[in-house]
Amino acid sequence: MNLTPLPDSADWGPFGRPLFDGPSARALSRVGVVDVGSNSVRLVVFDGAARSPAYFYNEKIMCALGAGVSETGNLSPEGRIRALNALRRFQHLANGMRLPPLTVVATAAVRDAADGPDFCDEVLRETGLKIHVIDGKEEARLSAQGVLLGWPGSYGLVCDIGGSSMELAEIHDGQVGKRVTSSLGPLKLRDIKGGRKGRKEHIKEVIKDLREEMGPQKDRLFLVGGSWRAIARIDMHRRGYPLKVLHEYRMSAKDLRETIKYIETADLDKLRGLTGTSASRMALVPYAADVLARLIRTFKPKDIAVSSYGIREGLLYEQMPQRLRDRDPLTEACRVAETKEARLPGFGATLHDFVKPLFRHGPHSLQRLVEAACLLHDVSWRAHPDYRAEVCFENATRANLGGLKHSERVFLGLALLHRYRNKRQGTSFENLYDLLDEKGSHEAEVLGKAMRFGAMLMVNQETDIGALHWQPRKRVLHLKLPAALEPLYGEVAESRLRSLSSTLDAEVVIKIAR
């Protein structure tokens, strides 16, 4: 999408040109964000600066820019070379993709190093990229906003660990509250004197101070950062957890204590291969595990959730108007998918009106899943008919969709699976079904079969396809069908309606509106 270049201005704020200014169509452009961290340099290109932007391009290069900063006071010479080469590559990619100017931020390593300003000047000379060096509290705020991108209205404590620092931020009612920063990054911790005993004592004292500053934080703990994600992968491996999606992966304090003990005794090289973790990341895991153990012991969170969204997503959230922030990221992502992929964009809303009487007494958490499923009901039509149901399940459970618990991913997957087939047995995903309870599985099947029947009436998005009315106590399902659509109610449609009524254990009453 070609956009009119924006004028330069001194009023754009600390991160340069806003990504969300101007007409709403501008939000459909691709935007790139670069995070220059202590351990890695990453480029993310978001396909559409919308409420739930898709990842068009995502590349990380491990540079260890912050290695040795605590000892020498300067950035790693080798890390500087690697980081500069990474930024050259990223700028070249951005030019090839015809992106607007990249937004580049640097965190603890660059802000702490004496030669940090020199590095930024070198990058500007060599690539034309201006690096915005942010302080620890700003880093905490942006990471927390990244969490809010995926969990609007969430509450708890966000903990973002990088190579050279660890930040905490309080979130509640969609707002970021108190924020603190610390030096508890694994690259710095491995330079602490006194071996593991000295390191653990240092961690204990620092987290004690953080606790005094932040106050009680016993709600959810959100974990942001590569070292936390590596520990979560190990937790999944230890527990035999079937869904390998890190975002919204939930753990209890007990789970994590057992996983930390497991890490202490495991062969890290073997564990690295089993979990798909890089050697450089796995080398930092034991240090991060010591921090996490003390963090949980000190703050005593009610549960722990992994967030794949962090500072890069926080930069997007930073520049969203409030009306966009207030939207449901799941619904928005599904609307975009329908617009781009469905045969008849707009019919999802018609189908939703048709099936929602079956769920009118359900909680909001169920209602949003029903709407999402209806929006997605036809986006996989290009898949081979023999595999379409499994493709739907795969997409729902593993796609980049914000605002979804793992059990809700399975609900959505089952609903879309039943949109294309009656039986769920015999798929390669049966090990995931147990992530959803029996009631949820039944509701997903009802929804899928209702969509399967409703799709038989799909003519165009404006056509009235009739109405369902459900009397659960009497076990009676009423179908009111417009006379104009009577020719569509053939043998296949009748069979699909029978399948729905069987799942509901209901009698069907059909009325043709003449």
CATH number of the domain encompassing residue 150: 3.30.420.150
Is the four-CA dihedral 331, 309, 298, 171 of positive or negative sign?
negative
Q: In the predicted model, what is the mean pLDDT of residues 131-160?
A: 94
Residue 507: inside a domain: no
Q: Please check the confidence at residue 461 and state whether its pLDDT lies above 90.
A: no
User: In this predicted structure, what is the pLDDT of residue 9?
Assistant: 42
127 token code pair = 């690539």
| pLDDT, tens digit (0-9, with 9 covering 90-100), for 4-54 | 333 444 444 555 554 444 454 344 478 899 999 999 999 999 886 567 778
Q: Which of 159, 162, 252 is nearest to 210 (CA)?
A: 159
Please tell me whether residues 334 and 427 are part of one structural domain.
Answer: yes
Q: How many whole angstroms separate alpha carbon 316 and alpha carbon 159?
A: 19
Please tell me whether residues 445 and 343 are part of one structural domain.
Answer: yes
Q: How many whole angstroms separate alpha carbon 429 and alpha carbon 412?
A: 13
Q: How many whole angstroms separate alpha carbon 435 and alpha carbon 241?
A: 9
Please tell me whether residues 182 and 118 are part of one structural domain.
Answer: no
In terms of residue numbers, what domain contains 56?
24-134
Residue 474: inside a domain: no
Q: Please check the confidence at residue 341 and state whether its pLDDT lies above 50.
A: yes
Split at pLDDT 50, 70, 90, the class of 272 is very high
pTM assigned to the model? 0.89
The domain boundary, picked from 312, 337, 369, lies at 312
Please tell me whether residues 207 and 232 are part of one structural domain.
Answer: yes
Q: How many whole angstroms separate alpha carbon 79 and alpha carbon 84?
A: 8
Please tell me whether residues 172 and 276 are part of one structural domain.
Answer: yes
The CATH number of the domain holding residue 38 is 3.30.420.40
Beta strands in 83-196 (DSSP E): 103-106, 131-133, 156-161, 166-172, 175-182
User: In this predicted structure, what is the pLDDT of residue 382?
Assistant: 93
Q: In the predicted model, what is the mean pLDDT of residues 266-273?
A: 95
Q: In the chain, what percentage of residues exceed pLDDT 70?
A: 94
For all residues of the chain together, what is the average pLDDT?
91
Q: Which of 352, 383, 389, 306 is nearest to 468 (CA)?
A: 352
The domain boundary, picked from 416, 435, 461, lies at 461
| pLDDT, tens digit (0-9, with 9 covering 90-100), for 193-248 | 899 999 999 999 999 999 999 999 989 999 999 999 999 999 999 999 999 999 99
Q: How many whole angstroms separate alpha carbon 103 and alpha carbon 86?
A: 15
The CATH number of the domain holding residue 374 is 1.10.3210.10
Asked whether 48 and 42 are in contact (CB, 8 A), the reply is no
Domain total of the chain:
3
Beta bridge partners of 376: none
Please tell me whether residues 122 and 179 are part of one structural domain.
Answer: no
Residue 8: inside a domain: no
Asked whether 173 and 153 are in contact (CB, 8 A), the reply is yes
User: In this predicted structure, what is the pLDDT of residue 48?
Assistant: 66
Residue 214: inside a domain: yes
Q: In the predicted model, what is the mean pLDDT of residues 282-305?
A: 96
Please tell me whether residues 186 and 272 are part of one structural domain.
Answer: yes
User: In this predicted structure, what is the pLDDT of residue 5?
Assistant: 39
Least confident range from 40-54, 57-71, 320-334: namely 40-54
Q: What's the CA angle centered on 383, arms 377 and 386, to 5 degrees?
A: 100
Beta strands in 250-377 (DSSP E): 250-251, 303-306
Q: Please check the confidence at residue 501 and state whether its pLDDT lies above 80.
A: yes
User: In this predicted structure, what is the pLDDT of residue 191?
Assistant: 85
Instruction: Report how far apart, in Å, the C-alpha atoms of 401 and of each of 88, 376, 397 are.
Output: 31, 12, 9
323 token code pair = 């009306």
Burial of residue 14, with CB atoms counted within 10 A of its CB: 0-12 exposed, 13-18 middle, 19 or more buried: exposed
Asked whether 158 and 140 are in contact (CB, 8 A), the reply is yes
Please tell me whether residues 154 and 66 are part of one structural domain.
Answer: no
Q: In the predicted model, what is the mean pLDDT of residues 308-322?
A: 88
DSSP 114: T
DSSP 48: S
Phi, psi of 42 (to 5 degrees): -130, 140
Q: How many whole angstroms separate alpha carbon 249 and alpha carbon 105?
A: 27
Q: In the predicted model, what is the mean pLDDT of residues 66-94?
A: 95
The domain boundary, picked from 461, 481, 506, lies at 461
Q: Please check the confidence at residue 325 and state whether its pLDDT lies above 90.
A: no
Place of tokens 């600066």: 49
Residue 321: inside a domain: no
Please tell me whether residues 285 and 374 are part of one structural domain.
Answer: no
120 token code pair = 């930024």
Q: In the predicted model, what is the mean pLDDT of residues 121-133?
A: 97
| pLDDT, tens digit (0-9, with 9 covering 90-100), for 423-438 | 998 888 899 999 999 9
Residue 476: inside a domain: no
User: Which helix (H) or strand (E) is 262 found in, with range?
Assistant: helix 253-265
**Length of the chain, please?**
514
Q: In the chain, what percentage of residues exceed pLDDT 90?
A: 78
Q: In the predicted model, what is the mean pLDDT of residues 42-70?
A: 86
Residue 98: inside a domain: yes
Q: How many whole angstroms separate alpha carbon 128 and alpha carbon 134?
A: 19
Please tell me whether residues 219 and 273 are part of one structural domain.
Answer: yes
Output 47 or 178, whichever has higher pLDDT: 178
Q: In which region does residue 179 sit, left (phi positive, over 0), alpha (psi from -120 to 50) or beta (all else)?
A: beta
Q: Please check the confidence at residue 474 and state whether its pLDDT lies above 80.
A: yes
Least confident range from 115-129, 201-215, 316-330: namely 316-330
Beta bridge partners of 131: 104
Please tell me whether residues 344 and 208 are part of one structural domain.
Answer: no
Please tell me whether residues 120 and 159 are part of one structural domain.
Answer: no
